[in-house]
Amino acid sequence: MRHFLYLMTMSMVMTNPEIRASHRYNVEEKKRKEMKFIMKLCGKVVRMLIALAKNNTSYEPIKVFTQAA
C-alpha cells in the first residue's frame, strides 16, 4: 500500500501545479532533501484524502497548500 501511495504522490508532484509548487519551494528554497519531503508529502496526501472523504467536500488547493496562494 505504501508503494502505491508513493507512486500516487510522485504522479501528483508531476501533474498537480499546487503540489509541484510546494515541492519546488521546499526542495529549492528551504534546501530540504527531496526524498524526505516526498515522504512528508505522502502523509499530507493521505490526511487530505481522509478529510475529503470524511467531510464529503471537494478539493480546494487554497486550503491544503498555502504556498499556492
Model pLDDT for residues 13-23, shown as the tens digit of each residue: 999 888 888 88
- Answer whether 0.85 is exceeded by the pTM: no
Show me where the domains of the chain are located: 2-68
* CA distance linking residue 5 with residue 56, whole number of Å: 21
Model pLDDT for residues 21-39, shown as the tens digit of each residue: 888 888 888 888 888 889 9
Q: Where are the alpha helices (DSSP H) in 1-69?
A: 2-15, 17-24, 34-55, 61-64
